[in-house]
Structure 1
Amino acid sequence: MKISISGIRGIFGDDLSIQEIARFSRVYGSYLKNNYDILTCVIARDSRPSGGIITDIVIGCLLEQGISVYDLGIAPTPVLFRESRKYSGALMITASHNPLTWNGLKMLIKGRGLFEEDLDQVLKTKIQDHANIGQYFKINASFLNDIVNYVPKSNQLNDDFKVGIDFGGGAACNYANHLLDSYHVKYLGINDKLGFSSRGPDPTSDPLVELCELVKINKLNFGFAFDVDGDRLVIVNNQGIQLNPDSTLLLCIAGVVRNNGFKRFTISLDSSLSIEQYVKNHGGQVFISKVGESNVIKRMFETDSQAGGEGSSGGFIMPSFTSCRDGLLASVIISSLDQNTINECMNLSSKFKQIRTKHPIDPKIDSKDLFEKILSSLKSYSTDVINTDGLKFVLDDSSWVLIRFSNTEHALRISLESTKEKADPMYKLFHNKIIEIYEKI
């Protein structure tokens, strides 16, 4: 089981047992009782097979703690985040992009995910004895109306704009389609039945073969692929080619620069250099955060940033609307772009290549020892080393490599960006050295 600001995640029936789900639900319920006078919690889940039984456990434990529960059913994570602003707490039952055998609990406070200090406080909470029983309500979200009121339809410049949507059998079903209908965006959909998909849950790493074919054959402007809980969006271009997830963030930032005049952005330190270059080319300022949605949000608050996100997850964040990665909002913004803006972004991103992989690790490994050995081995290759989140080696103006532990899995993530000519040999060199160090520990 993995516990971090990204949530509590594990393999259901294995390390994420019914007992653990009940314990964390009661802990969260007690946390709400300790911090709020009005005890309300809105919940939702993605379409994972284990979601139903976990939801029942969560509801029972929250009601037992005296928390009134407002249930959205199957709904995307950004829908829950938006709705959570009306309640004391919120809880999303999801493991986001992890394999379908996984599930988890994502706890929210104050309309956002937990910061590291919040997580510490929640985990230290002692479960209280129950007294009063909370009430249960089945509700509908106001998200679709909210987004139409927030992003004017006048932004939609392309009457002939047509897209393909790969729902991935996830929570975006019955949301993304209705949203694009509201903006009169024409679309063709695949994998649009809840719980049924011909591809894996993570479009940032899974090949989107069907969507690429759909776009190419039907001469669509874009293809949009959502992950299981709808917070990530990966794009297929008009030639039927799957783009790297950083392109989502780049296009969204271009959209809010053009439509909203935004100037201040925060992006995670594993995001593409093309995003930073675009913002600076248009007179804006970029701040860098640790990887992780909550880390980006926290840095946004500190710097008064208007938007940003995580390039590596295809995750765009606009905190004035939703304090999380929002694939639905991203699809609307990208659908508003004119061809000149799209071309500018694609030309800029084509200068770089990203390679991102993960290597399973023993959760008991001495992380300090591992990173000290990696630093000693690789420091001579770099012009600068950033150690705020793992180790990021800046190699030159167009190249970097980042080694860090995953927030969501027992894995070492190795990410690299460089020019197309240098990326592959550079990655091979660094990957082999890192894995050799790990295997000797």
Structure 2
Amino acid sequence: MKITISGIRGVVGHDYTLHDAMLFCRGFAGIMYSKTCVVSRDTRPTSKMISDVISAVLTSCDVDVLDLGVMPTPVVFRESQKYGSGIVITASHNPIEWNGLKFILNGRMVNTAEIDRIKGNTGHASDENSYGSTIHYTSSYVDDMFNIIGYIDEAPSILIDAGGGAATDIAQDILKKIGCRSGIIYNKCTRTDPTADNLERLVAESTGYDAGVAFDTDGDRLVLVMNGMVQLPDATLGLGVASAIRQGHRKFVISMDTSTLIERYIRNRGGIVWRAPVGEANVIDKMIQNDASVGGEGSSGGFIFNEFNHCRDGLFTSALIASMIPKGIAQDVLREVTGSTIIREKVAGYKDIQDKIMRISTEVDTTDGIRGIIDEDTWVLIRRSNTEDVTRLSVEAPTPDRCRNIINQVRTMIHDI
């Protein structure tokens, strides 16, 4: 079982059980600021069972449950701004046999200190005659989003691949609300993590649309298909960043593994950039520290727009990108934030190769694993995963050959230990 700032995740019936879910839920109930908790789940086969247990535990702790049913993670973040607390039953992009919990306080993911309090807290005891209730609740998310994006003149057409996940219905509702024509493929749970390897049908069929979008199982990750190809997640983040700059925002926090092209795009327009460790909660903590209203992660394409939601929000980003397609705005931005080669992969276990990375780098940053800056356009990052028992290896370089050469060099360093 993985216990990190990304939440609790494990393989159901193996290293993650209903008893584990009960204990962590009680721990969370003990640190809540309110007596109300918004709860949703993704479409994994085990999610309904776990959701029922979570609701029972919360109500036994005298907490009222607002049950959204199947609903994406960003919706719970938005609603928890109103009600104080939220839990999402999901393992996000992990394989379907996994499941877990995401804990939300006042519209943001719990931080490391709060995770430690949850682990060390058995939950507060409720008076035996005092119990909470469960109410089936409808979110105002779509209307809230419309109040920011508005109706799009000459709205584009968008093909959706939600993988049968939690975004399946609401993604269509959002695009319809802002005036887009949309189609959908795979409305039953078929995969958890949208990658280039499993989006062939979306790429092929989106040629009849202005763009295609794919979501992971809990709807916070967005993958964009434009120009007949799957765009790098950094490009998705870049489109969100460009929109924020057009609105006058100047302070940005991006993760350690985000493309240098995004940082350069911001700085060339007078913006300030801070780098944060990979992980949504880490990025948001850095945003709070520096009073930055916009942030994101290159590796996930996760765009965070604090004025609307304190999380990476694939749903909101899909609407935002749709608003940039008319008049060629999105195409202009893509030309500037793409062009380098980024390879991201994972290797089993973790090995410390800091000394070896220092030999090929002009500068080293150990904020999150080890990030070696080779030149102004080239870097390598080796870090432990927040969600799996693997090491994440990322390299960016100006050309595919240079990128492959560096990643092969780093693989050799790892295997030689």
TM above 0.5, yes or no, is yes
Q: 1:435 maps to which residue?
A: 415
Match of 2:163 in 1: 168
Per-residue deviation, residues 90-116 of structure 1 (Å, max 9, x unmatched): 111111111111000111112110111
User: Which runs of 5 or more residues in structure 2 are unaligned?
Assistant: none
Aligned to 1:108: 104
Q: Does the Cα contact within 8 Å between 1:164 and 1:223 map onto a contact in 2?
A: yes
Match of 1:141 among 127, 139, 142: 139
Equivalent residue runs for 1:315-334 within 5 Å: 315-334=302-321
Report the equivalent of 1:29.
29
Amino acid at match of 1:347: R
Q: Could you tell me how far 1:29 is from its partner in structure 2?
A: 1.6
Give, in angstroms, the shift of residue 160 of structure 1.
5.1
* C-alpha displacement of 1:206: 4.1
CA distance 1:308–1:339, shift in 2 (3 Å): farther
> What is the count of residue pairs matched by the alignment?
413
| Counterpart position of 1:266 | 253
Q: 2-side partners of 1:44 and 1:315: how far apart?
A: 20
Aligned-pair CA distance for 1:122: 2.2
Alignment of 1:191-270 (within 5 A): 191-193=186-188, 196-197=189-190, 200-204=191-195, 206-216=197-207, 218=208, 220-238=209-227, 240-258=228-246, 260-270=247-257
Deviation at 1:121, TM superposition (A): 2.2
Q: Report if the CA contact (8 A) 2:258-2:297 is conserved.
A: yes
* CA deviation profile, 1:260-313 (whole Å, cap 9, x unmatched): 122211110101111111112222221111110011111111111121200100
**1:151: Cα distance to partner?**
2.3
Cα-to-partner distance string for 1:122-145 (whole Å, 9 max, x where unaligned): 222233333221111110001001
Matched ranges for 1:231-380 at <5 A: 231-238=220-227, 240-258=228-246, 260-337=247-324, 338-361=326-349, 370-371=351-352, 374-380=353-359
Distance in structure 1 (CA, Å) of the matches to 2:182 and 2:239: 19
Q: Give the alignment partner of residue 180 of structure 1, picking from 165, 168, 175.
A: 175
Give 3-state SS (helix, strand or coil) of 2:23's partner.
helix
Query: Which residue, out of 377, 386, 404, partners 1:424?
Result: 404
> For 2:144 and 2:214, how far apart are their aligned partners in 1?
22
CA 285–204 in structure 1, closer or farther in 2 if over 3 Å, else same: farther
CA 1:332–1:160: 2 relative to 1, 3 Å: closer
> Relative to structure 1, is the Cα distance of residues 339 and 150 closer, same or farther in structure 2, using a 3 angstrom cutoff?
closer
Provide the rounded CA distance (Å) in 2 between the counterparts of 1:306 and 1:129: 38
The yes-or-no answer on 1:83 pairing with 2:72 is: no
- Between the aligned partners of 1:67 and 1:129, the Cα distance in structure 2 is 11
Percent identity of paired positions between Structure 1 and Structure 2: 38
Q: Deviations over 1:208-235 (max 9, x none)?
A: 101000112x1x2211011111101011
Are positions 1:8 and 2:8 aligned together? yes
Matched, 1:384 2:363: yes
- The 3 A distance-change label for structure 1 pair 355 and 162 is same
Distance (whole Å) between structure 2 residues aligned to residue 81 and residue 430 of structure 1: 38
Whichever residue aligns with residue 140 of structure 2, its letter is: S
CA, structure 1 residues 206+55, in 2 after alignment: closer, same or farther (shift >3 Å)?
farther
SS of aligned partner of 1:413: strand
CA distance in 1: counterparts of 2:45 and 2:323, whole angstroms? 35
Gaps of 5+ in 1: 362-366
Give a deviation string over 1:178-221, Cα, whole Å, max 9, x none.
1010111112211124xx32xx31114643101000112x1x22
Aligned to 2:44: 48
Residue of structure 1 equivalent to 2:93: 97
Contact preservation (8 Å) 2:383, 2:392: yes
**Alignment-derived partner of residue 364 in structure 1:** none
Match of 2:100, SS state, is: strand
Shift of 1:346: 2.5
Q: 1:146 to 1:160 in 2, by over 3 A?
A: closer
CA contact (8 A) 1:204 1:245 kept: no
Answer yes or no: is the 8 Å Cα contact 1:394–1:401 preserved in 2.
Answer: yes
Q: Secondary structure at the match of 1:43?
A: strand
Does residue 65 (structure 1) correspond to residue 61 (structure 2)? The answer is yes
The TM-score, its normalising length taken from structure 2, stands at: 0.96
Q: TM-score, normalized by length of structure 1?
A: 0.90
Letter of the structure 2 residue corresponding to residue 429 of structure 1 = Q
Q: Deviations over 1:383-435 (max 9, x none)?
A: 01100111001111111110000111111111111112311111111122123
